[in-house]
Amino acid sequence: MTDPRLSFKEMCARFDVTPRTLRYYEYIELLTPERAGRSRFYGPREIARMTLILRGRKFGFQLEDIRQWLMIYEEEGTEAQMRAWIEMADRQLGELAEQKRQLDEAMAELKALRDRTEASLSG
């Protein structure tokens, strides 16, 4: 049984990304598809990497952080990558908590202003 390979178009469809995004990920060396002439094919490694890239983006990680994290696996192995992931996740959780605090503060200010404005119309 052969490993699944996706064409460029299939990869875009599977991960719901634009061709421009996929080409950019290749350009910054997040992905390295096999090439046959002008065609690109993505095997299990690239499919797994794309899953991790999109998951990282969902959590707010920068592409460079994701690229470096993926390189750890290739250079140092799974355990080193997992340790790096814990550090990255802890850092990102702190950043997200701060963003949440700022958002909660902005929402409270906006609601207070809205309520004062509504009261001045009623009063």
Q: Which pLDDT score is estimated for 2? A: 64
Contacts of 4 (CB under 8 A, 6+ apart): 43, 44, 47
Q: Is the pLDDT of residue 117 over 80?
A: yes
27 falls in which pLDDT band (50, 70, 90)?
Answer: very high
Q: In what order do the strands lie in the sheet with 39-42?
A: 6-7, 39-42, 34-36
Closest by alpha carbon to 56, among 36, 19, 30?
30
Q: Is the pLDDT of residue 3 over 80?
A: no
The dotted CATH code for 1-58 is 1.10.1660.10
Domain ranges of the chain: 1-58, 63-123
Q: Is the pLDDT of residue 1 over 60?
A: no
User: 50 and 42 in contact (C-beta within 8 Å)?
Assistant: yes
